Amino acid sequence: MFEPFWKEVGDDATVKISGWEKMSYTSSCDDDICWFLEPEFANEVARLHRIVNNAATDGRYIIVGVGSTQMIHATLHALASIELRHPVNVVSAAPYYSMYPGIVDLMKSGLYHWAGDAAAFRGDDNFIELVCSPNNPDGTIRHAILGKEAGKRVHDMAYYWPHYSPMRGPADHDIMLFTLSKATGHAGTRIGWALVKNKEVAREMAKFITLNTIGVSKDSQVRAATILKVISDGYEFPKPNGAPQFFHFGQHKLAYRWRRLRRAVQESGQFILPRFSPEFCEFFKEYAETYPGFAWLRCEDQKINDCEDFFKRINVLTRSGKHFGFDE
């Protein structure tokens, strides 16, 4: 979806790494928490968040991981490790990200396990609530639904960027997860990061990544830093020839796709899509629509019992609601 933008950017986003560079495990940073964090990547992460103003970075530790999936594993391990009772229940309000159950239970850890829909959770204060906001799959802004005086919360903010959702000011949570794949489209680079308040939690997260993959690819971090720098430069130092700016490009692309999808759904009369009211975006400085990366489609036709199967027969790939804590 974003490839045309990066083609137009051209050499500004090109990275050259010589055969003798970046050979060691360790980075050149003096960070005693995340020893494998490349300084230029950390600087560009903080810079972009400051420009977009979507997340507080002051007083936070930046932890880098192999995509958001490893960041979730590292976060759950860190939070559960400091608990006295195990396994810790991991929950998220339905419809939740379809990969959460598999990610949580993959390790078959004795420290934590998947406990389903947060709205249906009837346990005690021994829980971790995953809050995806804007939410995958339905695009809504989410808040924790379990009591703040108990348990722990992890905010998965992969889609809290201006091309998907109006910016409402900087999020300020204990643990916030982001990923390059959703921010810029570079899924293959496999880079995610966390902004963490608590030093010991950050240390445990870095320890997990150390034992799991002995750090994170320097090459990927250098490329990610270059990509983020191009986006930030486009807004801090706009070119006089009206060169495209990434978030404007992304919003335009998503708006076009959503208009086409809504028109098709309306003409079919068989399905319902979420509706979003325009909100003032502090980044674009105007009222903006919400354009989620996914469409949460509900079938209204009583003759269709399995929405995924219906679309598969007409060569449209979807994922069934049953994977998100709903029905088919």
> Are 209 and 263 contained in the same domain?
no
End-of-domain residue from the set 235, 258, 273: 235
Q: 67's torsion region: left (phi>0), alpha (psi -120 to 50) or beta?
A: left
What CATH code is carried by the domain that includes residue 269? 3.90.1150.10
Alpha-carbon distances of 228 from 27, 137, 171, 224, rounded to whole Å: 19, 25, 19, 6
Tokens of 83: 């608990």
Would 306 be classed as within a structural domain?
A: yes
Instruction: Look at the chain and report how many structural domains it folds into.
Output: 2
Spatial neighbors of 302 by CB under 8 A, at least 6 apart, are none
Assess whether 179 and 280 both reside in one domain: no
- Give the model's pLDDT for residue 123: 87
185, part of any domain: yes
Domain that residue 10 falls in: 3-235
Is there a single domain that holds both residue 296 and residue 230? Answer: no
CA dist 241 and 200 (Å) reads 48
The per-residue pLDDT for 240 is 83
**For position 122, which CATH number holds?**
3.40.640.10
CA atoms within 13 A on the CB side of 269: 0
Nearest Cα to Cα of residue 296 among 272, 268, 266: 272
Q: Answer left, alpha or beta for residue 190, where phi above 0 means left and psi between -120 and 50 means alpha.
A: left
Q: Residue 191 has what pLDDT?
A: 98
pLDDT tens for the chain, residues 1 to 328: 999 999 999 999 999 999 999 998 876 677 789 999 999 999 999 999 999 999 999 999 999 999 999 999 999 999 999 887 899 999 999 999 999 999 999 989 999 999 999 999 998 889 999 999 999 999 999 999 997 778 999 999 999 999 999 999 999 999 999 999 999 999 999 999 999 999 999 999 999 999 999 999 999 999 999 999 999 999 999 988 878 899 999 999 999 999 999 999 999 999 999 999 999 999 999 999 999 999 999 999 889 999 999 999 999 999 999 999 999 9
Q: What is the pLDDT of residue 259?
A: 97
**pLDDT value at position 163?**
98
Q: What is the pLDDT of residue 247?
A: 98
* Claim to verify: residue 180 and residue 228 sit in the same structural domain: yes
The pair of three-digit structure tokens given for residue 30, joined into one six-digit string: 């003096």
What is the DSSP pairing of strand 192-196 with strand 175-179?
antiparallel
Is residue 243 one of the residues assigned to a domain? Answer: no
Does residue 241 belong to any structural domain of this protein?
no
Do 28 and 112 lie in one domain? The reply is yes
Give the start-end residues of each E strand in the chain: 61-65, 88-92, 112-117, 127-132, 152-156, 175-179, 192-196, 271-272, 279-281, 286-288, 298-299
Sequence-ordered list of residues with C-beta below 8 angstroms from that of 163, at least 6 positions apart, any chain:
246, 247, 249, 250, 251, 253, 254, 291
Whether 128 and 76 have beta carbons less than 8 Å apart is answered as yes
Please check whether residue 242 lies inside any domain of the structure. no
CA 90 to chain centre: 18
pTM metric for this prediction:
0.96
Q: Which of 188, 175, 96 is nearest to 134 (CA)?
A: 96
